[in-house]
Amino acid sequence: MTFRENANIGSGAVRRGGGGGGGLAVGGGIGTILLALVVMLFGGDPGAILGGGGGQAPSSAQNVELEECQTGADANEDVDCRMKATMVSLVDYWEQVAPEADTTEAIIFTGQVNTGCGTASSQVGPFYCPVDRTIYLDTGFFSQLEGQLGADGGNFSQMYVLAHEYGHHIQNWTGALRASQQDQQGPESGAVRVELQADCFAGAWAGNATRTRDADGNLLLEPLSREDIESALSAAAAVGDDSIQERMQGQVTPHTWTHGSSEQRMGWFMRGYESGDPNQCDVLNAGSVDDYDA
Protein backbone atom coordinates (compact mmCIF):
# COMPACT_ATOMS: atom_id res chain seq x y z
CA MET A 1 0.00 0.00 0.00
CA THR A 2 1.42 3.34 -1.03
CA PHE A 3 0.92 6.72 0.61
CA ARG A 4 0.17 9.67 -1.63
CA GLU A 5 3.48 11.51 -1.96
CA ASN A 6 2.16 14.85 -0.73
CA ALA A 7 0.03 13.52 2.12
CA ASN A 8 0.60 15.42 5.36
CA ILE A 9 1.59 12.92 8.06
CA GLY A 10 2.90 15.51 10.52
CA SER A 11 0.10 14.79 13.00
CA GLY A 12 0.80 11.08 13.28
CA ALA A 13 0.61 9.87 16.89
CA VAL A 14 3.92 8.04 16.91
CA ARG A 15 6.99 8.76 18.96
CA ARG A 16 10.30 7.05 19.31
CA GLY A 17 11.08 5.95 22.84
CA GLY A 18 12.96 3.22 24.60
CA GLY A 19 16.31 2.96 26.19
CA GLY A 20 14.41 2.49 29.44
CA GLY A 21 16.85 1.46 32.11
CA GLY A 22 16.28 -0.61 35.18
CA GLY A 23 14.46 -3.85 34.79
CA LEU A 24 15.78 -6.92 33.15
CA ALA A 25 13.61 -7.73 30.20
CA VAL A 26 12.74 -11.35 29.75
CA GLY A 27 12.50 -12.63 26.20
CA GLY A 28 10.59 -15.61 24.97
CA GLY A 29 8.79 -14.28 21.93
CA ILE A 30 5.30 -12.98 21.49
CA GLY A 31 4.06 -15.44 24.07
CA THR A 32 5.64 -13.34 26.79
CA ILE A 33 3.46 -10.38 26.14
CA LEU A 34 0.37 -12.52 25.68
CA LEU A 35 1.08 -14.01 29.06
CA ALA A 36 1.64 -10.55 30.46
CA LEU A 37 -1.63 -9.34 28.99
CA VAL A 38 -3.45 -12.27 30.49
CA VAL A 39 -1.86 -11.59 33.85
CA MET A 40 -2.85 -7.96 33.62
CA LEU A 41 -6.38 -8.89 32.75
CA PHE A 42 -6.41 -11.01 35.86
CA GLY A 43 -5.12 -8.16 37.93
CA GLY A 44 -1.68 -9.61 38.47
CA ASP A 45 1.61 -7.81 38.25
CA PRO A 46 2.80 -7.87 34.67
CA GLY A 47 6.10 -6.40 35.79
CA ALA A 48 6.86 -9.70 37.42
CA ILE A 49 6.77 -11.36 34.05
CA LEU A 50 8.24 -8.67 31.88
CA GLY A 51 10.88 -7.97 34.46
CA GLY A 52 10.97 -4.81 36.55
CA GLY A 53 9.39 -1.47 36.00
CA GLY A 54 5.85 -2.77 36.44
CA GLY A 55 3.22 -0.09 36.61
CA GLN A 56 5.49 2.74 35.58
CA ALA A 57 4.25 4.94 32.82
CA PRO A 58 6.75 5.63 30.05
CA SER A 59 8.80 8.70 30.69
CA SER A 60 7.87 11.30 28.11
CA ALA A 61 11.36 12.78 28.41
CA GLN A 62 12.68 9.67 26.68
CA ASN A 63 10.25 9.89 23.81
CA VAL A 64 10.96 12.00 20.78
CA GLU A 65 8.60 13.07 18.04
CA LEU A 66 9.43 11.76 14.60
CA GLU A 67 9.90 15.26 13.18
CA GLU A 68 11.64 13.92 10.08
CA CYS A 69 8.41 12.25 8.98
CA GLN A 70 6.23 14.87 7.30
CA THR A 71 4.95 13.55 3.97
CA GLY A 72 3.58 10.44 2.35
CA ALA A 73 6.84 10.20 0.43
CA ASP A 74 8.67 9.86 3.76
CA ALA A 75 6.23 7.10 4.73
CA ASN A 76 6.95 5.20 1.55
CA GLU A 77 10.69 5.39 2.23
CA ASP A 78 11.07 4.79 5.93
CA VAL A 79 9.45 2.29 8.27
CA ASP A 80 9.17 4.69 11.24
CA CYS A 81 7.49 7.27 9.00
CA ARG A 82 5.23 4.53 7.64
CA MET A 83 4.06 3.77 11.17
CA LYS A 84 3.45 7.48 11.80
CA ALA A 85 1.46 7.79 8.58
CA THR A 86 -0.50 4.64 9.35
CA MET A 87 -1.49 6.14 12.69
CA VAL A 88 -2.87 9.21 10.87
CA SER A 89 -5.05 6.86 8.83
CA LEU A 90 -6.08 4.71 11.81
CA VAL A 91 -6.95 7.71 13.97
CA ASP A 92 -9.00 9.27 11.15
CA TYR A 93 -10.83 5.98 10.55
CA TRP A 94 -11.64 5.20 14.17
CA GLU A 95 -12.64 8.81 14.94
CA GLN A 96 -15.31 8.41 12.27
CA VAL A 97 -16.43 4.93 13.26
CA ALA A 98 -16.16 5.26 17.05
CA PRO A 99 -16.06 8.99 17.85
CA GLU A 100 -16.57 8.35 21.57
CA ALA A 101 -13.39 6.28 21.83
CA ASP A 102 -10.14 8.04 22.72
CA THR A 103 -7.40 7.84 20.15
CA THR A 104 -4.16 6.14 21.09
CA GLU A 105 -0.53 6.59 20.22
CA ALA A 106 2.31 4.29 19.32
CA ILE A 107 5.84 4.28 20.68
CA ILE A 108 8.55 2.78 18.51
CA PHE A 109 11.49 1.48 20.50
CA THR A 110 14.74 -0.37 20.12
CA GLY A 111 16.18 -2.61 22.79
CA GLN A 112 13.79 -2.15 25.65
CA VAL A 113 11.16 0.27 26.85
CA ASN A 114 9.43 1.13 30.11
CA THR A 115 5.68 0.83 29.75
CA GLY A 116 2.67 0.92 32.02
CA CYS A 117 2.77 -2.86 31.74
CA GLY A 118 6.39 -3.24 32.79
CA THR A 119 9.69 -3.19 30.97
CA ALA A 120 9.43 -4.81 27.58
CA SER A 121 12.20 -5.97 25.31
CA SER A 122 12.20 -6.17 21.53
CA GLN A 123 11.65 -9.88 21.75
CA VAL A 124 8.05 -9.54 22.86
CA GLY A 125 6.92 -8.24 19.47
CA PRO A 126 4.37 -5.46 18.98
CA PHE A 127 1.83 -5.09 21.78
CA TYR A 128 -0.85 -2.89 23.26
CA CYS A 129 -0.63 -1.99 26.93
CA PRO A 130 -4.12 -1.38 28.34
CA VAL A 131 -2.70 0.22 31.48
CA ASP A 132 -1.23 3.25 29.71
CA ARG A 133 -3.36 2.67 26.59
CA THR A 134 -0.35 2.84 24.30
CA ILE A 135 0.90 0.68 21.43
CA TYR A 136 4.56 -0.37 21.57
CA LEU A 137 6.55 -1.79 18.74
CA ASP A 138 10.12 -2.40 17.75
CA THR A 139 10.15 -2.18 13.99
CA GLY A 140 12.91 -4.81 14.03
CA PHE A 141 9.99 -7.21 14.50
CA PHE A 142 9.21 -6.70 10.84
CA SER A 143 12.52 -8.09 9.70
CA GLN A 144 11.88 -10.98 12.06
CA LEU A 145 8.52 -11.44 10.34
CA GLU A 146 10.30 -11.50 7.04
CA GLY A 147 13.22 -13.67 8.00
CA GLN A 148 12.18 -15.89 10.84
CA LEU A 149 8.50 -16.29 10.22
CA GLY A 150 8.53 -16.34 6.44
CA ALA A 151 6.09 -13.52 5.67
CA ASP A 152 7.12 -11.25 2.82
CA GLY A 153 7.72 -8.25 5.07
CA GLY A 154 5.68 -6.05 2.73
CA ASN A 155 4.73 -2.54 3.72
CA PHE A 156 1.10 -3.37 4.11
CA SER A 157 1.79 -6.29 6.42
CA GLN A 158 3.60 -3.80 8.69
CA MET A 159 0.56 -1.54 8.60
CA TYR A 160 -1.70 -4.48 9.35
CA VAL A 161 0.30 -5.28 12.50
CA LEU A 162 -0.21 -1.71 13.75
CA ALA A 163 -3.91 -1.83 12.80
CA HIS A 164 -4.28 -5.06 14.81
CA GLU A 165 -2.80 -3.34 17.87
CA TYR A 166 -5.09 -0.35 17.36
CA GLY A 167 -7.91 -2.89 17.35
CA HIS A 168 -6.91 -3.89 20.90
CA HIS A 169 -7.19 -0.23 21.91
CA ILE A 170 -10.75 -0.16 20.55
CA GLN A 171 -11.44 -3.36 22.49
CA ASN A 172 -10.15 -1.72 25.63
CA TRP A 173 -12.82 0.91 25.07
CA THR A 174 -15.64 -1.54 24.19
CA GLY A 175 -14.76 -3.77 27.14
CA ALA A 176 -13.93 -6.75 24.92
CA LEU A 177 -10.41 -6.94 26.36
CA ARG A 178 -11.88 -7.30 29.83
CA ALA A 179 -14.34 -9.91 28.58
CA SER A 180 -11.48 -12.18 27.61
CA GLN A 181 -10.37 -12.51 31.21
CA GLN A 182 -13.20 -14.87 32.08
CA ASP A 183 -12.03 -17.31 29.47
CA GLN A 184 -8.38 -17.46 28.55
CA GLN A 185 -7.61 -21.04 27.47
CA GLY A 186 -8.50 -23.11 24.46
CA PRO A 187 -9.35 -22.66 20.80
CA GLU A 188 -12.82 -21.15 21.41
CA SER A 189 -11.74 -19.04 24.38
CA GLY A 190 -12.47 -15.39 24.91
CA ALA A 191 -8.75 -14.68 24.55
CA VAL A 192 -8.66 -16.18 21.05
CA ARG A 193 -11.85 -14.34 20.12
CA VAL A 194 -10.32 -11.03 21.22
CA GLU A 195 -7.33 -11.66 18.95
CA LEU A 196 -9.50 -12.60 15.98
CA GLN A 197 -11.67 -9.54 16.52
CA ALA A 198 -8.55 -7.34 16.41
CA ASP A 199 -7.74 -8.93 13.03
CA CYS A 200 -11.27 -8.24 11.84
CA PHE A 201 -10.98 -4.60 13.02
CA ALA A 202 -7.70 -4.35 11.10
CA GLY A 203 -9.55 -5.64 8.03
CA ALA A 204 -12.37 -3.12 8.48
CA TRP A 205 -9.80 -0.32 8.61
CA ALA A 206 -8.03 -1.74 5.54
CA GLY A 207 -11.33 -1.79 3.65
CA ASN A 208 -11.74 1.92 4.36
CA ALA A 209 -8.12 3.09 4.53
CA THR A 210 -8.08 4.61 1.06
CA ARG A 211 -10.89 6.93 2.16
CA THR A 212 -9.00 8.26 5.19
CA ARG A 213 -7.61 11.79 5.09
CA ASP A 214 -4.73 13.80 6.48
CA ALA A 215 -4.95 16.98 8.57
CA ASP A 216 -5.41 19.01 5.39
CA GLY A 217 -8.35 16.89 4.27
CA ASN A 218 -6.43 15.20 1.47
CA LEU A 219 -6.58 11.47 0.82
CA LEU A 220 -3.71 9.57 2.43
CA LEU A 221 -3.38 6.37 0.47
CA GLU A 222 -3.40 5.00 -3.04
CA PRO A 223 -5.85 2.14 -3.59
CA LEU A 224 -4.89 -1.22 -2.16
CA SER A 225 -3.53 -3.74 -4.58
CA ARG A 226 -4.03 -7.47 -4.54
CA GLU A 227 -0.39 -7.78 -3.46
CA ASP A 228 -1.13 -5.56 -0.46
CA ILE A 229 -3.86 -7.89 0.71
CA GLU A 230 -1.73 -10.96 0.11
CA SER A 231 1.07 -9.32 2.06
CA ALA A 232 -1.21 -8.72 5.04
CA LEU A 233 -2.62 -12.20 4.89
CA SER A 234 0.82 -13.72 4.72
CA ALA A 235 1.71 -11.77 7.87
CA ALA A 236 -1.48 -13.02 9.52
CA ALA A 237 -0.54 -16.53 8.50
CA ALA A 238 2.99 -16.10 9.79
CA VAL A 239 1.84 -15.06 13.23
CA GLY A 240 -0.98 -17.59 13.59
CA ASP A 241 -0.67 -20.11 16.41
CA ASP A 242 -0.21 -23.12 14.20
CA SER A 243 2.51 -21.52 12.11
CA ILE A 244 4.46 -20.20 15.09
CA GLN A 245 4.33 -23.53 16.87
CA GLU A 246 5.50 -25.28 13.77
CA ARG A 247 8.48 -23.01 13.17
CA MET A 248 9.55 -22.30 16.72
CA GLN A 249 8.97 -25.68 18.23
CA GLY A 250 10.75 -26.17 21.47
CA GLN A 251 10.96 -22.48 22.25
CA VAL A 252 7.35 -21.86 23.10
CA THR A 253 4.72 -23.42 25.25
CA PRO A 254 1.76 -24.02 22.96
CA HIS A 255 -0.92 -23.28 25.54
CA THR A 256 0.24 -19.68 25.89
CA TRP A 257 -0.57 -18.92 22.24
CA THR A 258 -3.91 -17.27 21.97
CA HIS A 259 -4.12 -15.79 18.49
CA GLY A 260 -6.08 -18.50 16.65
CA SER A 261 -5.04 -20.45 13.57
CA SER A 262 -3.70 -18.85 10.40
CA GLU A 263 -6.91 -19.71 8.59
CA GLN A 264 -9.07 -18.13 11.29
CA ARG A 265 -6.95 -14.98 11.31
CA MET A 266 -7.24 -14.64 7.53
CA GLY A 267 -10.95 -15.42 7.67
CA TRP A 268 -11.73 -12.69 10.19
CA PHE A 269 -9.43 -10.16 8.52
CA MET A 270 -11.23 -10.73 5.21
CA ARG A 271 -14.64 -10.50 6.87
CA GLY A 272 -13.68 -7.05 8.16
CA TYR A 273 -12.09 -6.07 4.87
CA GLU A 274 -14.92 -7.18 2.60
CA SER A 275 -17.70 -5.72 4.74
CA GLY A 276 -15.70 -2.64 5.74
CA ASP A 277 -17.86 -2.73 8.85
CA PRO A 278 -16.51 -3.32 12.37
CA ASN A 279 -20.02 -4.34 13.41
CA GLN A 280 -19.37 -7.51 11.41
CA CYS A 281 -16.53 -8.29 13.81
CA ASP A 282 -18.54 -9.62 16.74
CA VAL A 283 -16.30 -12.63 17.22
CA LEU A 284 -17.05 -12.65 20.93
CA ASN A 285 -20.67 -13.63 20.36
CA ALA A 286 -20.12 -15.80 17.29
CA GLY A 287 -21.25 -19.41 17.69
CA SER A 288 -17.73 -20.50 16.80
CA VAL A 289 -14.43 -18.84 15.97
CA ASP A 290 -14.77 -20.54 12.56
CA ASP A 291 -17.96 -18.63 11.73
CA TYR A 292 -16.22 -15.85 9.81
CA ASP A 293 -18.14 -16.79 6.66
CA ALA A 294 -21.49 -16.82 8.42
Shortest Å, Cβ 22 to Zn ion:
26
Shortest Å, Cβ 258 to Zn ion:
8
Shortest Å, Cβ 198 to Zn ion:
5
Shortest Å, Cβ 227 to Zn ion:
24
Shortest Å, Cβ 128 to Zn ion:
7
Shortest Å, Cβ 121 to Zn ion:
18
Letter string b/e over residues 189-204, b meaning 16 or more CB atoms within 10 A of that residue's CB: bbbbbbbbbbbbbbbb
Which among 71, 69, 34, 62 has a CA at the least distance from the CA of 49?
A: 34
Letter string b/e over residues 252-291, b meaning 16 or more CB atoms within 10 A of that residue's CB: beeebbbbbbbebbbbbbbbbbeebebebbebbebeebbe
Residue with smaller CB distance to Zn ion, 73 or 131: 131
Continuous H helices in 209-240:
226-238
Which among 112, 130, 124 has a CA at the least distance from the CA of 19?
A: 112
- Of the ranges 137-145, 155-163, 187-195, 248-256, which one interacts with Zn ion (CB under 5 A)? 187-195
Burial of 12 (0-12, 13-18, 19+ CB in 10 A): buried
- Of the ranges 87-95, 190-198, 199-207, 244-252, which one interacts with Zn ion (CB under 5 A)? 190-198
CA 197 – CA 239 distance, rounded (Å) = 15
Residue with smaller CB distance to Zn ion, 198 or 200: 198
**What is the size of the binding site for Zn ion (CB under 5 A)?**
2
Residue with smaller CB distance to Zn ion, 38 or 75: 38
Residue with smaller CB distance to Zn ion, 75 or 233: 233
Residue with smaller CB distance to Zn ion, 4 or 259: 259
H/E segment holding residue 136: strand 134-137
Size of the chain in residues: 294
DSSP secondary structure code for residue 101 in this structure: S
Report the site for Zn ion in 196-235 (rule: CB under 5 A): 198
CB 135 within 8 A of CB 166: yes
Residue with smaller CB distance to Zn ion, 66 or 170: 170
Burial of 150 (0-12, 13-18, 19+ CB in 10 A): middle
Residue with smaller CB distance to Zn ion, 191 or 221: 191
Residues 136-175: x where in contact with Zn ion by CB under 5 A, - otherwise, as a string: ----------------------------------------
CB 108 within 8 A of CB 135: no
Shortest Å, Cβ 225 to Zn ion:
25
Residue with smaller CB distance to Zn ion, 1 or 177: 177
Shortest Å, Cβ 164 to Zn ion:
6
- Of the ranges 56-64, 69-77, 107-115, 192-200, which one interacts with Zn ion (CB under 5 A)? 192-200
CA 246 – CA 218 distance, rounded (Å) = 44
Report the site for Zn ion in 264-283 (rule: CB under 5 A): none
- Of the ranges 43-51, 69-77, 191-199, 272-280, which one interacts with Zn ion (CB under 5 A)? 191-199
Residues forming contacts to Zn ion in the complex (CB under 5 A) are 195, 198
